[in-house]
Amino acid sequence: MRRTEAKEASALPVYRIFCLLLVILILSCQTEDTLRDKANTTGQLNDTQSVGASLGDSPDVFPEGMDWLREAQSAWFEKKDPDLTDYCLDRVNSSALNNEGDRALYQLLCRKVYTRMLPLKELGFADANISSLFLDRDDLWIGTWAGGIVRYSLPLEELATLRPSRDSIRVEKISDFERVGTEIRLAGYSDLYSYDRTNSRLDRQFPKDMERINNLAWFKGTLFASTVDKGLWYEGESGEWYPIGEHVPGLSRINALYIDSRGYLLIGTASAGIIRYDGNSFTSFREIYPRFKGRNITAFTESGDLLIVGSYGEGGFIINRQSGESWQFSKEKGDFLSDYLLCATVSEKWFYVGTLGGGVYALPVDSEGSSAEWIALGMDEGLYSLDTSAIIPYENSIYVSLLGHGVLILDEEIIEKAL
């Protein structure tokens, strides 16, 4: 018994030494981790301080006379930091850039940070004269003035050419798209196309007596088509096309079709304003909203009670369909640079209209019609051209067709910079 106790007594110091070494080892590892964390933190602080040195010691307090354009230039070209470039551009007073070189630099940086072109040419489609855009789920359909048709997968960034553009004296413009069941229907200038998504087949139709087809609308189970000077048509069950509304004043010349949230087909005419069709009868907007004076109507979009209407030569209009009030916005009033509105659309936060010669304009969807202020998006905000034929919102961007330049992807964040 004593022999055993003596053995245990002699083993005790060894155990204690082992535990002590283990504790020291653990503390040593923790110290190394702590030092490493401190080193990383110090490095991060140094990086932050180096950025802060160029921006000022506080994000809210900056040195007097800070040249934000030069800071943005350095952030993009030297530091390769898009976020810092965005931060600096946000503080540039673009309206005070009187030097031509400074304005060119500002425009270049805006294009670099907020915009990029859809790589149509890089993917094998060189026609940049875009006439129409259509979003079908995650596929962006693109039509051109020379008849080319492209389907572009937005998530995959892959392009499929359904029909190449053509060099011809015959007008081949693809003016509109519409989804009908498993098919995508396309309006050509003097013919129609049908693309079956189940077998990827594109068929061409030649409707008798229809020419200069402008728009398509799938309304209450029937496909309607508008024409430049031969009125409204609908497709029968056999695939034949028939005219409708021949007796309605002003319906012979149509610029736009739009199915609104209230279940009506809105028809934008070239001289008689808006005509509403409920599936049985036609009603002029002049009877419903006497204060609305628009005549040559080219585009529609809506959100809630507000209906945005574009015209060719008369600017834009907002109609409050609850109160019946309407307001006109024009170049003369200082709202737009051009009174020729070619397209209109809406995203979650913004109305958009695209103009011929005036760029793109945005308006918050919760605006009051009487005090609405349009935000201009032009060359300073990254546009390569002020001629816009179509706009499609997708996620947090808009896809804008710029005549002669292809399709521009514009980050909606740029709108906040333009305020």
Q: Which of 376, 378, 403 is nearest to 389 (CA)?
A: 403
| Total count of domains within the chain | 3
β 183-188/274-277 pair status? unpaired
Q: Show Cβ contacts of residue 107 under 8 Å, excluding neighbours closer than 6 positions.
A: 379, 380, 382
Q: How far apart, in whole angstroms, are the C-alpha atoms of residue 99 and residue 91?
A: 17
DSSP letter, residue 362: E
**pLDDT (tens digit per residue) in 112-145:** 888 899 999 999 999 999 999 999 999 999 999 9
**Pair (5, 23) in one structural domain:** yes
Q: How far apart, in whole angstroms, are the C-alpha atoms of residue 163 and residue 67?
A: 50
**Pair (375, 226) in one structural domain:** yes
Domain annotation covers residue 122: yes
**Pair (111, 123) in one structural domain:** no
**Pair (221, 362) in one structural domain:** yes
**pLDDT for the residue numbered 209:** 85
Q: How far apart, in whole angstroms, are the C-alpha atoms of residue 165 and residue 213?
A: 18
Going residue by residue through the chain, which has 419 residues, state the pLDDT in tens, using 9 for 90 and above. 333 333 344 444 544 544 555 444 444 554 444 444 444 443 433 443 444 555 544 455 567 678 999 999 999 999 999 889 988 988 888 888 889 999 889 888 988 888 899 999 999 999 999 999 999 999 999 999 999 999 999 999 999 999 999 887 777 899 999 999 999 999 998 789 999 988 999 999 888 888 889 999 999 999 999 999 999 999 999 899 999 999 999 999 999 999 999 999 999 999 999 999 999 999 999 999 999 999 999 999 999 999 999 999 999 999 999 999 999 999 999 999 999 999 999 999 999 999 999 999 999 999 887 788 999 999 888 888 999 999 999 999 999 999 999 999 999 988 876 65
The amino acid occupying position 199 is N
β partners of residue 274: 268
3-state secondary structure of 168: coil
**Pair (113, 250) in one structural domain:** no
**Pair (152, 221) in one structural domain:** yes
Domain annotation covers residue 294: yes
**pLDDT (tens digit per residue) in 345-371:** 999 999 999 999 999 999 999 988 778
Phi-psi region of 238 (alpha: psi -120 to 50; beta: other; left: phi over 0): alpha
- Tokens representing residue 279 in the block: 């599936």
**Pair (7, 72) in one structural domain:** no
Range of the domain at 44: 1-57
Q: Which of 380, 379, 384, 347 is nearest to 362 (CA)?
A: 347
**Pair (29, 106) in one structural domain:** no
Q: Which of 249, 211, 209, 206 is nearest to 227 (CA)?
A: 211
Last residue of a domain, one of 117, 135, 157: 117
Q: How far apart, in whole angstroms, are the C-alpha atoms of residue 298 and residue 390?
A: 12
**pLDDT (tens digit per residue) in 310-322:** 999 999 999 999 9
Q: Which ranges in 123-251 belong to alpha helices (H)? A: none
Q: Which of 381, 115, 325 is nearest to 361 (CA)?
A: 381
- What is the pLDDT of the chain when averaged over all its residues? 86
Q: How far apart, in whole angstroms, are the C-alpha atoms of residue 338 and residue 316?
A: 10
Q: How far apart, in whole angstroms, are the C-alpha atoms of residue 300 and residue 87?
A: 35
Cα of 320 vs its chain's centroid, Å: 24
pTM, two decimals, is 0.81
Last residue of a domain, one of 80, 101, 117: 117
**pLDDT (tens digit per residue) in 14-52:** 445 445 554 444 445 544 444 444 444 434 334 434 445
β 130-136/139-144 pair status? antiparallel
Tokens 């082992």 found at: 18
Q: Which of 223, 191, 309, 312 is nearest to 260 (CA)?
A: 309
**Pair (387, 267) in one structural domain:** yes
Cα of 43 vs its chain's centroid, Å: 39
**pLDDT for the residue numbered 2:** 35
Domain annotation covers residue 228: yes
**Pair (48, 109) in one structural domain:** no
**Pair (184, 199) in one structural domain:** yes
Q: Which of 181, 184, 187 is nearest to 207 (CA)?
A: 187
Domain annotation covers residue 63: no
